[in-house]
Chain A
Amino acid sequence: MLGVSFFVGFTGLWALATLGGFVSKTFLADPITMVQSGWRLLTEMGFAKDIGITMWRVFGGFAIAAVLALPLGVLMGAYKPVEALFEPFVSFARYLPASAFIPLLILWAGIGEVQKLALIFIGSFFQLVLMIAVVVGNTRRDLVEAAYTLGCGDGGIVRRVLIPSAAPEIAEILRMVLGWAWTYVIVAELIGASSGIGHMITDSQALLATDQIIFGIVVIGVIGLVFDFAFKRMNQRLYPWAQLGK
């Protein structure tokens, strides 16, 4: 309830500043114009398609990153030699700003879908690997030992102790990094794209259409919020045991 009231208050302030004439319309559109032009964007200018394309890019790139990061992260967390081999490089790569790769990726892959997916991959893969490795590596030692005394071998420890034990936290990591992937896709679309939410925003900038820019930003926020909420719910459903005692 408190969270909702803040949203309302924020919108109220915005309406006051713009409709009250305190801020020029050229720089900041008012909420009503924003909703109207948003509706026009959706119904007449095919903005829904842009939204669909952007979402496809985010989930595509993120899915590739997650599918590859999961096994590597788990192996790094489980086996010291694997960690010793990859950890330094991954730590280094993690600090490379993904957006700085855009010029390079445009040279390599043009401004098509491959470039977008690659950027999201670079932005999320290394983060995922490191965080998953840490979570898996922090598995309670006594649980591992208990499993050994129950007859587990090394493979069984990974499958039946490390992974289930880390699963709720890994799901949280995925949720968080998916949020970051959203920012990368917009950056990629701002710089070089012929479709997508970010592309619409740059087009609107050329037309000084702040109402459309704001609508685009709001759409990104709303989609992010919806997915965050859905992800959270799914985690609670999948891992009821992790909710106990919280």
Chain B
Amino acid sequence: MAARDDLHAAYAARFDLPAERGACIGCITQTVPLELVLAAGLRPVRLFPDPSRPPTRGDRYMEAEIDGEVRSLFDRMVAGAFAGLPLVLLPRMSEPHLQLHYYLAEVRTWEPEADIPPVQLVDIMQTAFWSTGRYVRARLVELADRLGGIGEPVTEDALRAAIHTVNRMRERLQALNALRRESRLKGSDLYRATALFGALSPGEFLSLTEALAADPGPKAGDAPRLMLSGCQQDDPSLYELIEAEGVHVAADDHVTGERVFAHLVDPAADPYDALAEHYQLHAPGLRQYPQKTLDDRFLAICRDARVDADLCVLNAGDDTLGWDWPGRRDRLREMGIPSRLLIAQDDFRPDRAAQTSALAALLQDAREGAA
């Protein structure tokens, strides 16, 4: 159990930034190109939202319709929680993240005393077009130049080495996911490990995940197997609620789940081409297009993970993922897998009773379907 304890301790310490931040690069989400940060000799530190604290100062400027993760990060930024970082990288994995870039620019004029570090949007677009790929590649080259000005100039050798390192980190998570599929690792623990991707140094991360793979904890047995889909989860509390009901989260499909590590960067290609293709086509984001590709992948995971049911949970501001659910529900039904939709979950005060109730109803659907 020591590995799990270490995992939980590392996750609990996720808000603690190093005292000396001059060589640290703040990373918003797990889709920051860590390879470039490492190749510049810098230390990525993930900046987490805090769903336990509803925003106060930031909500004077930012509408409640925007996702809780973004509102929380904006609030923490304005409050100076990330002061001292030489740069924060903000990938454009959704429209709210893009808006965060603009809101942070504007709030500096309203609160000039706020100690907000420089923020660079990483304008990764995700349409599957050649011109988009070239655009993304040019942005990554620009980013490498900027990071090189803070740390060391990014060389091809250093970048290839960083790609190798980050791929190893992804492979480690893939191995943990295989254990989860076999019910030998809890979904909540894989969530924690995934959240630490980009939060710990590569050495710490590889060490922690290696130990966890060797000692993943008690087997879940023959518990019902669930796919958790929908909006991103900002902490493992929903996983834990589901597990407390005796259900194993065998798979997930949201942007902070297993999609984070599902794809590796091609180590043999030109490194910038490889990175551009990876982040354009494979990094988890709400702007990936076409949707059919994502839906097909989701259904394949449901089949391969042998899930009994799908619970799709959406937050209160959702204007996006709700478009996917009816089609997915219908296709799952053809596979004999029931799906339920739970909407309007408050990012800071989720309705745990509604979640428990939806889960119970879904399990009943699954039992009736199996009977």
The answer on A and B forming one complex is no
Partner-A contacts on B (CB < 8 A): none
Q: Which residues of A contact B (CB under 8 A)?
A: none
